[in-house]
Amino acid sequence: MNTTSTRPPWARWLAAGLLATLAPAAMAAFSVTTVWDGNNAAKPQYVIDTDAGLVFKVRGYDNGASTTSAGDISSLVYNGVEYADPARGTQLNSGADWLYTNVSAVTVKAELVSANGTVTPAATTNGGVVTGSDFIKITLTSTSTKGGVLTHYYLVKRGQPHIHMGTHFTEQPDVHGLVRFIARVPIAKLPSGGPAGTAGGLVTYGGQSYWAEDLRGTNGAIESADIFGFASTDPRYGQSRSKHYSNRRLKDWQILGGTGPGVGMWFWRDNHEGDSGGPFYRSLLQQITDTTNELTYMVNYGEAQTEPFRLGILNTYILMFTDGSLPTVRPDTAWYGVMGLVGYVPPVGRGSVSVAGLHGRVAGIPYTAGFANSQAQYWVDADPVDGHFTAEGMLPGTYTMTIYKGELEVQKAQVTVTANANYALNPITITADPASTPALWRIGQWDGTPQEFINGDKLTFMHPGDVRMASWNVGPYVIGTSTPATGWPAYQWKDVNNGLQVRFTLKRGQNAAPLRLRVGLTADFNGARPQVTVNSWSSGIPAAPPKVSRNMTVGTYRGVNRLYTFDIPASQLVVGTNVLTINTVSGTAGAKFLSPSISFDAIDLVALP
């Protein structure tokens, strides 16, 4: 069959890569059009017209390079302007042929779907044009050598300039050990990041507003290949920028994106039920360079990982085009139910959990309820007045419910979720808050964060060596005189500020019995843990925690909360001034800010129970 002769002229132009020159009116209304690169029937691409000013193209064949793979979005034209980077795909991970080791075969299928679920596949007849009136589905499938299957969808609802996506996998991709989708946009088309208050949005420090992930003007890496600094001739010399500093806690953001002349591109996220790490987890989200604005939607991420990856969940998210304005309403997704998506669970197949209140809260601190099992995770904020909450849209199953004071676990319970039902509990009394134990003295607040300490307000958007950080080296902390904000650093490194000291006074009688020192950490790196000395007495060395990837320098203090206790013999305590020294110890080497380190939550001295 001579397919070339049956194609209209504009279809041949598309095949030659001239999509951006076409006016939207030249395209077929709401359609999938099959075109062939180089007039080669083995090289199909699928052109999707949303009938809303957005026309995009999905590559249907292996191009022999990870930068341009099967399943990539190879063109993104909105209102006649091309927003795709021609050199690299807008793609899953670094291309679908870089998902699983030794696997390059990827299948791509294009279909139209009616409101009642009837499927019409893409075709090569009629010039390759298939029109419809409701929905379009593009399905990418990759199978690992172990039999795991990853399925990725591009979904379109007629009349919306949005690309809905879904990613489902039964085995974690192992080439990069993560799952992400990246939209790489030429910088001239999308030169700005998001506004303040959004993921990757503007931050303000010292009166200057900027995007912490904006690498423009930097002159090279200061750590690894992903944290950058400025030349000595630049007024910003000593400051740091990195894609890692675009992060926000999962519970705090809904949208990430950027703007350019007459356009806004935004990822609208789902509830992250298939992610791991819980409500306070942070990961990179965006990178702005001299050439591209890279909007990165992380489905899951391995850096500073706190729990195993979750599999078998349909993770959904939406790439939205606007005139530059920030979306405020989630687009309708009820139509997902007719699309035949692997792993889709409708609202009626989900349940909820409600708790009538929380007793024993500390005023002024927010409380969060988290739910987790091996399949899914959820969270909800507790009411600030009485602590009541309801978590909705949960997959059926048994979950560990954790109540967090700030980011610190203070209560746990088991709950069971059933479809289309609510699991209701009476008010819960918090019994595991370490702050409820009276202390002779306390440094910091038991809330699971180091934010009240020196540099605690800057940890998530700059490197610890940034010139805007206060010195990490401090003199002895004097109980009754010093304050956490000026007297105690958020982090301690083995090779930077080891041997932090606390001086405290005991009255006669207070040293008559052993006392317990409690050191709470929010994270650790390279097997680090604390060892203490009090006067002439030294504690033992605790067992080493599991090692994790970089965490203290990539914009997060979030790890596994650990509580270390050291019982100090009464014979080693004196009336008057006592000197406590905290050392970070580890059998692992490392230099400066990559040496073993710990992040403080709180430190106190209490009576033995």
Q: Is 462 contained in some domain?
A: yes
Q: Is the pLDDT of residue 42 over 80?
A: yes
- Tell me what the mean pLDDT of segment 159-183 comes to: 97
The rounded distance, in Å, linking the Cα atoms of 344 and 336 is 8
Q: Is 316 contained in some domain?
A: no
Among 55-64, 216-225, 460-469, 563-572, the range scoring the smallest mean pLDDT is: 55-64
**Pick from 199, 192, 201, 211: which is nearest to 324 by CA?**
192
The rounded distance, in Å, linking the Cα atoms of 273 and 287 is 25
- Tell me what the mean pLDDT of segment 202-208 comes to: 95
Q: Is 463 contained in some domain?
A: yes
- What pLDDT is attached to residue 63? 82
Last residue of a domain, one of 403, 432, 461: 432
Pairing of β 389-394 and β 351-355: antiparallel
- Are 411 and 448 found together in one domain? no
274 phi, psi to nearest 5 deg: -95, 0
Q: Is the pLDDT of residue 28 over 80?
A: no
Last residue of a domain, one of 124, 158, 176: 176
pLDDT tens digit string along 534-547? 999 999 999 999 99
- Are 168 and 192 found together in one domain? no
The rounded distance, in Å, linking the Cα atoms of 316 and 334 is 13
Q: Is the pLDDT of residue 121 over 50?
A: yes
CA atoms within a 13 Å half-sphere pointing along the CA-CB vector of 281? 24
pLDDT tens digit string along 68-95? 899 999 999 999 999 999 888 899 999 9
Q: Is 328 contained in some domain?
A: no
- Are 461 and 523 found together in one domain? yes
Residue with tokens 């605790």: 542
In degrees to the nearest 10, what's the CA dihedral of 132, 70, 40, 45? 20
User: At residue 136, what is the residue type?
Assistant: I
Q: Is 321 contained in some domain?
A: no
CA 337 → CA 245, 343, 350, 541, distances in Å? 37, 11, 14, 56
DSSP bridge partners of 157:
135
Which distant-in-sequence residues (6+ apart) come within 8 Å of 42 by Cβ? Answer: 61
- What pLDDT is attached to residue 16? 37
Q: Is the pLDDT of residue 326 over 60?
A: yes
pLDDT tens digit string along 220-278? 999 999 999 999 999 999 999 999 999 999 999 999 999 999 999 999 999 999 999 99
- Are 392 and 457 found together in one domain? no
Q: Is 341 contained in some domain?
A: no
> Which pLDDT band, with edges at 50, 70 and 90, does 67 fall under?
confident
- Tell me what the mean pLDDT of segment 148-161 comes to: 98
Question: Which token pair is 584?
Answer: 């970070």
**Cβ proximity of 482 and 516 under 8 Å:** no
- Are 32 and 144 found together in one domain? yes
**Pick from 192, 175, 160: which is nearest to 295 by CA?**
192
- Are 10 and 157 found together in one domain? yes
Q: Is the pLDDT of residue 52 over 60?
A: yes
Q: Which domain holds residue 139?
A: 3-176
Q: Is the pLDDT of residue 353 over 60?
A: yes
Percent of the chain with pLDDT over 90: 91
Q: How many domains does the chain have?
A: 4
Angle at 535 between CA 532 and CA 536, to 5 degrees: 90
- What pLDDT is attached to residue 250? 97
74 phi, psi to nearest 5 deg: -95, -10
**What's 416's domain CATH number?**
2.60.40.1120
- Are 368 and 275 found together in one domain? no
In degrees to the nearest 10, what's the CA dihedral of 463, 464, 465, 471? 150
**Pick from 377, 238, 355: which is nearest to 306 by CA?**
377
- Are 281 and 231 found together in one domain? yes
SS3 287: strand
The rounded distance, in Å, linking the Cα atoms of 310 and 557 is 22
Q: Is 324 contained in some domain?
A: no
- Are 457 and 379 found together in one domain? no
The rounded distance, in Å, linking the Cα atoms of 354 and 428 is 11
- Are 99 and 29 found together in one domain? yes
Among 17-21, 313-317, 404-408, the range scoring the smallest mean pLDDT is: 17-21
| 289: number of Cβ within 10 Å | 16
Q: Is the pLDDT of residue 457 over 60?
A: yes
Q: Is 331 contained in some domain?
A: no
**Stretch (H or E) spanning 599:** strand 597-607
